[in-house]
Structure 1
Amino acid sequence: MNNNDILIRLRYALDFNNTEMVDIFKLGGVEVTKEDVLQLLTKSNDDETENEEQMKCTNQMLDSFLNGLIIYKRGKQEPKPGQPQGPAVSAVTNESVNNLLLKKVKIALALTSEDMLEILEDAGVSISKSELSAVLRKEGHKNYKPCLDRYARNFLKGLAMKYRA
């Protein structure tokens, strides 16, 4: 699952329109137009061939979108004295994209671990609380586990079932 697939599934699950997508990107610090959003949301025929009409969503763009989603859903948080102004720019690798997705959607939608387990259960995946905790840990932590595409895909499927029902 690539970043464009994640955006497509997230948009469907949370029922955002193109204007809202542009606003969320802007809140995350990335300027895109409605045409850019349409190009980002264009499905490719398969993972091997490039689609001329599709704009590739980079890890940095996805991270900015998820940061914007947090601000869109929860409001802008004023930094406390001594804190940096914006969110820390995380070095997103292809292996950690799914972990980042789960963490930031959890924050944006104010989900508890129980909520996340329930969403995954609704999509037909059962994992333990400790497995979920390992996926939500910071990369480099001794108990960190990479989130596989299967979990990310089913989490987005479960979100769609919960928010579009």
Structure 2
Amino acid sequence: MPKKFLKRLMPDPHSIKNNKYLQIFGDLLHNANLWHLNRRSVAKAFAVGLFFAFVPVPFQMVLAAGIAILVNANLPLSIALVWITNPLTMPAIFYICYLVGTWVINAPEKEFVFDPSWQWVSDSLTTIGPAFLLGCLICATLFSILGYVAINIIWRSSVAKEWNKRKNLRVK
């Protein structure tokens, strides 16, 4: 069942409530609805978390938490899913986003060498930036929708399977 599986994966509520970056939300973090695991809150959490995983900004967790609070999504899952893009996966994921952007705007791929400086970032915004940002937006939207729909389908089929098991036990 998805609920049991997700409970094992979720971060500890105390670690989230005590996170220094999430303290800006104050008492909003104590809303009990943000911690429930049900089909709607989990599907919204996947949509929020996957969307912000593809947004190339610092503090993705804070953005995901803010939107999760607004839409009553499961807060721990929304925050945890942002970490799909972590220092190990980020280069590959963002390069794929860049390729998606170049494909959509029908632009040639441009060679670039990463340089961790503000000058490189500002120069890149004019060269590879438009394709990269468009690709990030497309991937964020696509995976957000896919995550929402997939969780709804998986959750509903799991519940239907459990109902059928109970029905078959009563018949015997």
TM-score, normalised with respect to structure 1: 0.31
Q: Which has the higher contact order (CA 8 A, sep 6+)?
A: 2
TM-score, normalised with respect to structure 2: 0.30
